[in-house]
């Protein structure tokens, strides 16, 4: 029964072309470890450095989004003084290859109040060509870090630039406060 | 000012800032857990040093494998800083080294170079072989 169950799960992943799947609390250590594994796997699988680096980059930017913004958190028990950096953030990340293209997908809980802003941002990025994305990226790198952002605020622009075959995103409401956000980028 | 040397890790580059020789380099991966914590102190020291630099020559070597968007923001600030110094009469050369088959890293170098008016920016491909 146990083997059958896990085999069925494995088959499901295989049907989706998933090479890596992680679901759970994501820490910087998880990012480092899976990042290294993805790098090794891609260097064996593809001779095309640009594709390999692109996939790796999509992975890093998406996972850093989860670490910084997932609204599903748990404070690490070992931590005192409420240091927010040590909160554990929950999310799912998958990396795979289906029908000749690689994808990196992430999903995590966000606050419903952030949905419209995020939807508008991502929908606008989808309409921009590479040249416009480059201009916007540079503006963002030069500008002040946007409110609520813990990085350069350029992560999604970077994802849009690297996703040579575009990206999809979606939201569903979970309860009064939370929504579930998913994004999948293709190379 | 004493030379800064920080060894590379899986996620952060080797930093070599030789203030006496005005030779600086960043080499390796750049997606540190906390970009500000990693780059803040060393870039701060560099800023202090460059404020006092009126003429002479300065070389900055970059040999990055990958950098994330948070690191890109730091690099952008660093290039603006170098361009200012070069605008004051310092001869600033940047060597942007990339693996010969890494088109993307070459393009990223070109993108930084586009915005510089005073720095001499050299794109330097190299091969492992």
Residue A152 C-alpha, separation from nearest chain B C-alpha, in angstroms? 5
Domain layout of chain B by residue ranges: 4-126
User: Tens digits of per-residue pLDDT, A131-152?
Assistant: 999 999 999 998 866 655 555 5
User: Tens digits of per-residue pLDDT, B47-98?
Assistant: 999 998 878 899 999 999 999 999 999 999 999 999 999 999 899 999 999 9
Domain that holds residue A31: 2-186
**Residue of A32, A53, A151 with shortest CB distance to B10:** A32
| B34 phi, psi to nearest 5 deg | -130, 105
Q: Is the pLDDT of residue A173 over 80?
A: yes
Residue of A62, A86, A151 to mutate when probing chain B, most B C-beta within 10 A: A151
Helix axes A49-69, A155-162, angle to 10 degrees: 150
What is the pLDDT, as a whole number, of residue A80? 42
Q: Is the pLDDT of residue A69 over 90?
A: no
Per-residue DSSP letter, A137: H
Total domains, chain A: 1
Instruction: Kindly state the greatest CA–CA separation across chain A.
Output: 56
Q: Average pLDDT over chain A, rounded to whole? A: 87
Q: Which of residues 97-156 of A touch B (CB under 8 A)?
A: 134, 137-138, 141-142, 145, 151-152, 154-155
What is the pLDDT, as a whole number, of residue B102? 87
Q: Is the pLDDT of residue A74 over 80?
A: no
What is the pLDDT, as a whole number, of residue A79? 46
CB within 8 Å: A64 and B73: no
CB A24 within 8 A of CB A101: no
Exposure of B22 in the CB half-sphere (CA atoms within 13 A) = 19
Q: Tokens 């450095």 identify what position?
A: A49
What is the pLDDT, as a whole number, of residue A83? 46
Residue B113 Cα distances to A36, A133, B47, B96, B108, angstroms: 30, 17, 20, 9, 9
% pLDDT > 90, chain A = 59
| Section A9-14 average pLDDT | 95
Q: Is the pLDDT of residue A179 over 70?
A: yes
What is the pLDDT, as a whole number, of residue A42? 86
Per-residue DSSP letter, A144: P
What is the pLDDT, as a whole number, of residue A75? 60
């Amino acid at each position: 029964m146990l083997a059958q169950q896990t085999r069925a799960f494995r088959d499901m992943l295989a049907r989706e072309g998933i090479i890596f799947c992680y679901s759970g609390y994501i820490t910087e250590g998880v990012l480092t470890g899976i990042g290294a594994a993805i790098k090794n796997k891609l260097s064996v699988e593809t001779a095309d450095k640009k594709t390999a680096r692109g996939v790796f980059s999509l992975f890093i930017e998406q996972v850093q989004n989860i670490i910084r913004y997932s609204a599903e958190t748990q404070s690490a028990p070992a931590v005192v003084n409420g240091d927010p950096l040590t909160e554990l953030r929950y999310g799912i990340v998958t990396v795979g290859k289906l029908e000749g293209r690689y994808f990196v997908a992430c999903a995590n809980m966000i606050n419903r109040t952030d949905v419209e802003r995020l939807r508008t941002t991502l929908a606008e990025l989808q309409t921009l060509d590479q040249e416009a994305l480059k201009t916007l990226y540079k503006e963002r790198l030069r500008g002040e870090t946007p409110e609520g952002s813990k990085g350069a605020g350029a992560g999604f622009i970077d994802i849009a630039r690297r996703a040579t075959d575009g990206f999809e995103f979606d939201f569903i409401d979970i309860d009064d406060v939370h929504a579930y956000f998913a994004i999948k980028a293709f190379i | 000012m004493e030379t800064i040397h920080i060894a590379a890790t899986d996620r952060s580059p080797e930093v070599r800032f030789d203030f006496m020789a005005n030779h600086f380099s960043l080499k390796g991966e750049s997606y540190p857990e906390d970009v500000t914590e990693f780059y803040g102190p060393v870039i701060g020291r560099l800023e202090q040093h460059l404020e006092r630099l009126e003429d002479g020559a300065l070389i900055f070597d970059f040999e990055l494998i990958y950098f994330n968007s948070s690191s890109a923001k730091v690099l952008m600030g660093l290039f603006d800083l170098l361009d200012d110094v070069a605008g004051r009469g310092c001869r600033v050369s940047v060597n942007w080294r990339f693996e010969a088959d890494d088109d993307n890293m070459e393009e990223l170098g070109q993108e930084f170079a586009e915005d510089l008016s005073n720095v001499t920016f050299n794109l330097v491909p190299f091969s492992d072989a």
